[in-house]
Amino acid sequence: MTGEYEGRENLSEDTKDLERARQSLIEELEAINWYQERIDATRNEELRRILEHNRDEEKEHVAMLIEWIRKNDSTQDRMFEEHD
């Protein structure tokens, strides 16, 4: 979490919120990978469909977080525009 180096009490609320969003993004991307591994590993079609559904929900969460970060970090937004 933010503040590991400088102490949370020294950070603005905006910095804390951006870190929360970025950390959540990391966790959502990890979850996508975990679900994909399980999808690849299972031989049960019903379970596969459930896992695919769950993976796709995580992808929606990633999109939502990226959009929020873009709205709240103008430099990051510009980088997305430049590398589109």
**What confidence tier does 43 reach under pLDDT thresholds 50, 70, 90?**
very high
Residue 10 neighbours by CB under 8 Å, 6+ apart: 3
Contact 1, 19 (CB under 8 A): yes
Which residues have a Cβ under 8 Å from the Cβ of 73 and sit 6 or more positions away?
18
User: What are the tens digits of pLDDT across the range 16-38?
Assistant: 999 999 999 999 999 999 999 99
Answer yes or no: is pLDDT of 70 > 90.
Answer: yes
Nearest to 26 by CA among 79, 71, 62: 62
